[in-house]
Amino acid sequence: MLIVKKFGGSSVANKERIFNVAERCIEEYKKGNKVVVVLSAMGDTTDDLLAKAAEINEDAPKREMDMLLATGEQVSVSLMAMAMAKLGVPAVSLNAFQVPMHTSSKYMNARFKKIDGERITAELEQGKIVIVTGFQGVNKYDDVTTLGRGGSDTTAVALAAALNADACEIYTDVEGVYTADPRVVPNARKMKEVSYDEMLELATLGAKVLHNRSVEMAKKYNVPLVVRSSLTKAEGTVVKEVTKVESMLVSGVAVDKDAARIAIVGLKNQPGIAFKVFDLLAKHNINVDVILQSIGRDDTKDISFTVDQTQAKECVQLLKDNQERLTIQNIKEEENVAKLSIVGAGMQSNAGVAAKMFEALYDVGVNIRMIATSEIRITVLIDLDDVKVAMKAVHDKFLDE
């Protein structure tokens, strides 16, 4: 069997944890399996590197950010290879350049284009455990790129697909995918299985236990994933195409605290205005989520919507630059908000799910500011201060047994 095993930052945070991971991988290797290990940077390394960069230049060139951020993963893989050597097992560490793992050119948010499996296969054939840097790639200019926060999961899935692996295991600091973040909702339950579609929604809507692009890619190449703990042997959660369990009405609750709300006020109430606004944003790759349009004063309209906080500044500037053409009187931005979502494939065929969610929020006195729905999710925008109580109330309404 060829197994890809990915370990996150907390799983390799110090010497003991590194040896723990080394031993778990060696155990698999000694059973006669081929083992490819993908690692994140140790502990809070990536956050620390971001802080260091901000001390020097708050608006640093993204190319240089990637040169810096990619160093974290290189530290982990080399130390892991040293640990395995110490334990008497042949291992080799490789960075994205050495594999190579080609990506698009977009610094800090690159996507995989092509992965060359030859070097890894050759090293495996020589009986080595191969340890690869997560989160990074190389673009057509031979520059280092990174995949966006949490991107190591995507490296693991991409390698599993490229190498046609028999299993792809994501090891982290919780025992699987839960019905809500177990650190916020202590009575959240571990799921045995979850479908790609539901997991993709959960990950996109804030459940950062998996990078959303890793789920997208797993679905595309039909790579079943297992999410489990690096510290216990507990069975994890399987992420795959269709689950045996009958579609749950609601399978999970997610919160995204990185949302910003933008309100544009006093637009002309005539056809084409909304098109012009959102076309402009789309052309600049600004992802808009929850949208609300309302009637303003004197035959005008107001539109508010959410974007990712990282894109808020750029979005406001863009609107300001086009204020006259778009007939905007006023632009406001607010970051003290959060998106709370419920996800479930069973929602499509069930009336009353939204009402039940809103009732849960009403019960705890949480005000809903905006609402968006799709076939398998309902999202509300709430105040950041309300997140904890709202998440627990909504979770318990649907998922507490």
- Nearer of residues 129 and 227 to Mg ion, judged by Cβ: 227
- Nearer of residues 7 and 29 to ligand ASP, judged by Cβ: 7
- Nearer of residues 8 and 137 to Mg ion, judged by Cβ: 8
- Asked if residue 252 binds ligand ADP (CB under 6 A), the reply is yes
**Side-chain-facing half-sphere of 81: CA atoms under 13 Å:** 19
**Side-chain-facing half-sphere of 174: CA atoms under 13 Å:** 19
Nearest to ligand ASP by Cβ — which residue?
A: 152
- Asked if residue 46 binds ligand ASP (CB under 6 A), the reply is yes
Among 12, 156, 161, 209, binds ligand ADP (CB under 6 A): 209
Among 10, 38, 66, 72, binds ligand ASP (CB under 6 A): 72
At 70 the three-state DSSP class reads: helix
Site string for Mg ion, 147-186 (x = CB under 5 A): ---x------------------------------------
Contact present, 188 and 178 (Cβ < 8 Å) = yes
Burial annotation 18-45 (CB, 10 A radius, 16+ → b, else e): bbbbbebbbebbeeebbbbbbbbbbbeb
C-alpha pair distances (Å), 312 with each of 6, 27, 206, 277, 287: 32, 47, 17, 15, 10
Instruction: Looking at 188-286, list the stretches that DSSP marks H as alpha helix, in order from N- to C-terminal side.
Output: 196-204, 212-220, 273-283
CA-closest candidate to residue 44, choices 71, 72, 2: 72
Contact present, 131 and 37 (Cβ < 8 Å) = yes
From 146-154, 162-170, 189-197, 321-329, span contacting ligand ASP (CB under 6 A) = 146-154
Place of tokens 């997208």: 216
Length of the chain: 401
- Nearer of residues 9 and 206 to ligand ASP, judged by Cβ: 9
- Asked if residue 152 binds ligand ASP (CB under 6 A), the reply is yes
Number of residues that bind ligand ASP (CB under 6 A): 12
Provide the minimum distance between the beta carbon of 108 and ligand ASP in the complex, in angstroms, as a whole number. 11
User: Rounded to 10 degrees, what is the CA torsion of 355, 181, 239, 192?
Assistant: -90
Place of tokens 């006669």: 32
Structure tokens at 107: 């610094």
- Asked if residue 134 binds ligand ASP (CB under 6 A), the reply is yes
- Nearer of residues 207 and 259 to ligand ADP, judged by Cβ: 207
Provide the minimum distance between the beta carbon of 322 and ligand ASP in the complex, in angstroms, as a whole number. 33
Provide the minimum distance between the beta carbon of 203 and ligand ADP in the complex, in angstroms, as a whole number. 9
Within 10 angstroms of residue 388's Cβ, the number of other Cβ atoms is 11
From 2-10, 127-135, 158-166, 359-367, span contacting Mg ion (CB under 5 A) = 2-10
- Span 168-187, contacts to ligand ADP by CB under 6 A: 172-174, 177-178, 180-183
Binding partner at 149 among ligand ASP, Mg ion, ligand ADP, none, C-beta below 5 to 8 Å by kind: ligand ASP
- Asked if residue 220 binds ligand ADP (CB under 6 A), the reply is no
- Asked if residue 151 binds ligand ASP (CB under 6 A), the reply is yes
What is residue 111's DSSP assignment? Answer: -
Provide the minimum distance between the beta carbon of 134 and ligand ADP in the complex, in angstroms, as a whole number. 9
- Nearer of residues 45 and 379 to ligand ASP, judged by Cβ: 45
- Asked if residue 150 binds ligand ADP (CB under 6 A), the reply is yes
Residue type, 279: D
Provide the minimum distance between the beta carbon of 257 and ligand ASP in the complex, in angstroms, as a whole number. 16
- Distance separating alpha carbons of residues 217 and 223, to the nearest angstrom: 8
From 139-147, 205-213, 327-335, 365-373, span contacting ligand ADP (CB under 6 A) = 205-213
Beta strand pairing status for 252-256 and 337-343? antiparallel
Structure tokens at 249: 């009405």
- Distance separating alpha carbons of residues 312 and 335, to the nearest angstrom: 9
Question: What is the gyration radius of the CA atoms in the chain, in angstroms?
Answer: 23
Contact present, 175 and 181 (Cβ < 8 Å) = no
- Asked if residue 43 binds Mg ion (CB under 5 A), the reply is no
- Nearer of residues 77 and 238 to ligand ASP, judged by Cβ: 77
Residues that bind ligand ADP (CB under 6 A): 8-11, 40, 150, 172-174, 177-178, 180-183, 207-209, 252
Residues that bind Mg ion (CB under 5 A): 8, 150
